[in-house]
Amino acid sequence: MAKILDMPKLSPTMEEGVLAIWHKKEGDVVGVDDLLAEVETDKATMEFRSFDKGALLKILVAPGATVKLGQPVAVIGEPGEDVSALLASIAGAAPAADPPPAKEAAKEGTTAAPVSEEAPKTLAPPPAQPAQAAQAAVPQRPRAPKDALAFLTRTEQLEDDMPVTPVNGAKALASPFVRSRARELGVDLGNIAGTGKHGRVLPEDLAQTRAITVSNAQSGAVGPTQALARATHTLAEPKLVPLSPMRRTIAKRLVQSKQTVPHFYLQIDVRAEALVTLRESINAELAREKPKGDAAPKKISVNDLLVKAVATALVRVPECNAQFSDEGLLYHQRVDISVAVAVPDGLVTPVVRDADKKSVVHIAEEVRDLAARARQKKLKPEEMSDGTFSISNLGMFGIDQFSAVINPPEGAILAVGQVRDEPVVEDGVVKPGKRLALTLSCDHRVIDGAVGASFLAELRALIEHPMRVLTG
């Protein structure tokens, strides 16, 4: 005896379900507990299993259709059984399927007693159709009390809480209350993993979030930081500084570097007595020269000597004057050294072009000029781009040794510490000496350990015999 299968209640709160997919087709033999179909409920996609055995005689609902609880979806019975009478009986009774997208908003004001022709789609979705025919919209006379009631109780219904396409850059799904609370707290909703439906940010999600605030200190009203302090009760209020364009760039580029460039580090400690001595004698010579006009006497720094030494070493080990690209490894035909310069709210890397071809004094003048203009924020973009190798020197800040982050797209950076006075052992005798720690950060995609080591060996030789720096 054939029977109608109704849409079952697959979750405690289910009122309707979308028939996602049929796993049996008409004519298939079905056993008890066989998977008939999958149904998307308000909670999840659920399995719809058979309680009967027999043959699936008729599928009444096409995949994708929304079906109210208890509405017919299929007919099951003996193979070959005539179900036309049964089908006729349900065709005359309550309709089943809302083919998507049958969500029709009836026009306000075109109601309905006696039942109006103005809102036929809401009042009467098409009755259940065999699968093939269910796709075609067949206009029907309104006669579905359940759906009429849905229309008449429309002010009691919430729109389906669907995922919302972000508008105006707003990424998070959140109520006006949550949005206004987030504004008060200075919380970026985009940073919160909402626990509501479709990732909606709920008020309690907000309460659990340690706010990252944006200052609005100028406004006389209670600002976001005060609100944050209140919201978090015991935590002291942080001072908020908006991101400057430079800070944004630093953040972006260094994250890019550390996350995408495989860094490795090579560290050496070089004897620096000769370097310091050479610098002193050069500066003594320069001091004797008569400066033109009011210009300050020329002088050079250890760093200027290092720029020249690095440039020379790069000429000798060109594999380190290279960068990675998706097309292949780029070996530079020029030696342009980026010099990291601290400025009040960040750092910049002006470039000394063709450092290998310039004298130390020339480099010293150029670096001094670049650094001065960097601090005044007067560098042109082209003066800060397209270096081939970077040097970062924190010696003047008392740093002995550190590792630097590669300045993309360059392939390496040399971190320079301060010259240290310390006891050294020479020929089995401890005596006062000077040491300088150098750390090379390499992009392993383009520079291997041995290549980096040979570069550092060249550099060590140059620094420990610095006359070679001057002679190139």
Partner 1 sequence: MATRQLRYREALREAMIEEMERDPNVFLMGEEVGHYQGAYKVSEGMLEKFGEKRVVDTPIAESGFAGVGVGAAMVGLRPIIEFMTWNFSAVAFDQILNNAAKVRQMSGGQFSCPIVFRGPNASARQVGSQHSHAMEHFYATVPGLKVVAPAFPKDAKGLMKAAIRDDNPVLVMESETLYSVKGDVPDDLSDVVIGKAQIARPGKDVTLIAYSRATHIALDAATELEKVGISAEVVDLRSLRPLDEDTICDSVRRTHRAVVVHEGWPYGGVGAEIVDRIQRLAFDSLEAPVLRVTTLDVGMPYNAKLEQLCMPQKERVVAAVTKVVSRGRA
Catalogue the active-site residues: 444
- Does 176 engage in binding with partner 1 (CB under 8 A)? yes
Cβ-based burial of 85 (10 A; exposed 0-12, middle 13-18, buried ≥19): exposed
Smaller CB separation from partner 1, 174 or 371: 174
155 near partner 1, judged by CB under 8 A:
yes
| Residue 157 C-beta: closest distance to partner 1, Å | 7
Closer of 15 and 33 to partner 1 (Cβ) = 15
**Segment 218 to 237, residues that bind partner 1, using CB under 8 A:** none
Task: Report if residue 154 touches partner 1, rule: CB under 8 A.
Answer: yes
Residue 111 beta carbon to partner 1: minimum distance, rounded to whole angstroms? 5
195, amino acid identity: T
Of the two residues 180 and 249, which places its CB atom closer to partner 1 in the complex? 180
The kind and range of the H/E element at 73 are strand 72-77
Segment lying near partner 1 (by CB under 8 A), choices 157-165, 217-225, 306-314, 367-375: 157-165
Under 8 Å between Cβ of 440 and 266: yes
State yes or no: residue 45 binds partner 1 (CB under 8 A). no
**What is the per-residue burial (b if ≥16 Cβ within 10 Å, else e) of 406-419?**
bbbbbbbbbbbbbb
Residue 291 dihedral angles phi and psi, to the nearest 5°: -65, 145
Q: Which of 23, 200, 334, 375 is close enough to bind partner 1 by CB under 8 A? A: 200
337 phi and psi angles, rounded to 5 deg: -95, 120
Residue type, 346: G
Residue type, 291: P
CA–CA separation, 176 and 242 (whole Å): 25
Nearest approach, Cβ of residue 114 and partner 1 (Å): 9
Q: What are the tokens at 15?
A: 């009122």
Given 11, 175, 260, 281, the residue binding partner 1 (CB under 8 A): 175
**Amino acid (1-letter code) at residue 241:** V
48-55, long-range: CB < 8 A, 24+ apart: 48/8, 48/10, 50/5, 50/76, 52/3, 52/76, 53/29, 54/29, 54/30, 54/78, 54/79, 55/27, 55/28, 55/29, 55/30, 55/79, 55/80, 55/81
Q: Which of 163, 166, 203, 449 binds partner 1 (CB under 8 A)?
A: 203
CB of 388 to partner 1, least distance (A): 53
Alpha-carbon gap, residue 409 to 149, rounded angstroms: 66
Nearer to partner 1, 87 or 148 (CB): 148
* String marking each residue 434-453 x if it binds partner 1 according to CB under 8 A: --------------------
Binding residues with partner 1: total (CB under 8 A): 30
Residue 413 contacts residue 436 (beta carbons within 8 Å): no
Structure tokens at 440: 């090379």
Interface residue with partner 1, options 47, 78, 118, 161 (CB under 8 A): 161
Chain residues 91-130 in contact with partner 1, contact rule CB under 8 A: 108-109, 111-113
Q: Which stretch binds partner 1 (CB under 8 A): 192-200, 270-278, 323-331, 390-398?
A: 192-200
Beta-carbon count within 10 A of 145 CB: 11
- List C-alpha distances in Å: 314 to 265, 361, 366, 455: 17, 19, 20, 7
Q: CB 153 → partner 1: shortest distance, Å?
A: 7
Q: How far apart are CA 168 and CA 318, in angstroms?
A: 50
Among residues 23, 179, 253, 468, the one that binds partner 1 under rule CB under 8 A:
179
List 102, 152, 268, 342, residue binding partner 1 (CB under 8 A): 152
Contact region for partner 1 (CB under 8 A) — 196-204, 226-234, 376-384, 425-433? 196-204
Q: Least distance in Å: CB of 179 to partner 1?
A: 7
One residue of 195, 277, 281, 359 binding partner 1 per CB under 8 A: 195
Binding site for partner 1 (CB under 8 A): 108-109, 111-113, 149, 151-159, 161, 173, 175-180, 195-198, 200, 202-203
